[in-house]
Copies of this chain bind each other. A is one copy, B any other.
Amino acid sequence: MPVDDSGPSRLSDVGEDGLLRLIFPRLPVAAATLLGPGDDTAVVAAPDGRVVATTDVLVEGRDFRRDWSSAPDVGWKAAAQNLADVAAMGAVPTALLVGLVAPPELEVAWALGLADGLAAACAGTGAGVVGGDLSSGPVIVVSVTALGDLQGRAPVLRSGARPGDVVAVAGALGRSGAGWELLELGRGDVAPELVAAHRRPTPPYAAGVAAAVAGATSMLDVSDGLVRDLGRVARASGVTIDLDWNLAADAFARPLWPANTALGRPETDAMRWVLGGGEDHALAATFPPGVEPPVGFVPVGEVLPRVIGRPDVLLDGEPLDTLGWDHFRP
């Protein structure tokens, strides 16, 4: 059914098949796509003989707000957070499958914008959209599954960090959290670039493969905040991680000082965004002594033997709560 240009078309006007016909041409096709949408399943190349697979669900009102993020923003974010998970294993993404639940009265333009955002986030990553499903419901739900190829490498797990390793981060920390807080305070004008970082995180995909090639002992996607996520590495690896305030502040907090100051807060408060802010989808990895972290990785701490009776993650050797950072306890 053709879209009527005289007014906003709704999903209920074009129907499921009609919407799919409009969406498919907007979605990227990748080299690994052996069979795209239209049959019972897609067929995706898995040259390694193993496939990495991850899934995330984004719900309107909880994971995104339509008044804060455009449809392309939501599509971008849904793709990026899954592609970052693939990168965090040291794999390259090959394919996305996307489920969309939407109210029948949703404008078709929103669904097409979502597809455009998915496509934009995939550009340059090697991933294509190979399949999907549509259904209707009271709020928008976007589910994304990402597949990837390990190219012959061992997956980089959370459990491999060893005492003496350097902890390093590639990508952004605190920018998305700061942007979110600015939106929450109605002060997006203070730093539009941080609001943009919240709307469209840019995970350092290539750094994931580089870290795996360099010999990273552990790696993960920082989605819930640095301290919380490094706590997962520490517990999986049976170690303690000690962050270095100066290193983290220089690399990640200093660029946030102007926004922090504009809110009338003391300079050190910018570190809250760095330690606790999620959704930047940086990659945090550990590298053995003598291994130079690849370009793009900034050292932020070191791995200690597990310290019994203390938190999994320390800051300059001290528990974060005794430093007044109890909000960030993992």
- Interface residues of chain A, those whose CB is within 8 Å of chain B, are 34-35, 38-63, 84-86, 88-89, 91, 95, 97-101, 130-139, 141, 143, 145-148, 150, 155, 157-159, 219-221, 236
Contact = CB atoms under 8 A, between A and B. Distances in A.
A92 to B, nearest CB: 12
**Which of A43, A133, A143 has the most chain B CB atoms inside 10 A of its CB?**
A143
A133 B78 CA distance: 13
Nearest to A100: B57
A141 B52 contact: no
Query: When A and B form their complex, which 9 residue pairs have the shortest distance between CB atoms, in order from nearest?
Result: A46-B46, A143-B143, A57-B99, A41-B54, A40-B88, A145-B145, A55-B97, A41-B52, A40-B85
B143 A62 contact: no
Contacts of A99: 55-57, 99, 143
A226 to B, nearest CB: 15
B139 A89 contact: no
10 contacts: A39-B158, A41-B89, A44-B53, A47-B49, A53-B130, A53-B145, A55-B145, A57-B99, A133-B143, A138-B139
Count of chain copies: 2
Given A35-B157, A43-B50, 6 more contacts: A40-B54, A41-B88, A44-B50, A60-B137, A61-B137, A135-B141
A49 B42 CA distance: 14
Contact of A52 (B43, B47, B137): B43
**Which of A46, A58, A89, A91 has the most chain B CB atoms inside 10 A of its CB?**
A46
A51 B57 contact: no
A134 B143 CA distance: 11
Contact of A58 (B35, B98, B135): B135
A56 B236 CA distance: 32
A157 B220 CA distance: 38
Given A62-B135, A63-B135, A137-B62, A143 B57 contact: yes
Contacts of A41: 52-54, 85-86, 88-89, 91, 146, 148, 155
Is chain A's interface secondary structure helix, strand, loop, or mixed overall?
A: strand
Contacts of A148: 41
Given A89-B40, A89-B41, A132 B55 contact: yes
**Which of A48, A99, A131 has the most chain B CB atoms inside 10 A of its CB?**
A99
A45 B48 CA distance: 9
A51 B44 contact: yes
Contacts of A147: 51, 53, 147
Contacts of A53: 41-44, 95, 97, 130-131, 145, 147
Contacts of A47: 49
Contacts of A97: 53-55, 145
Nearest to A42: B53
Contacts of A137: 59-62, 139, 141
A237 to B, nearest CB: 12
B59 A221 contact: no
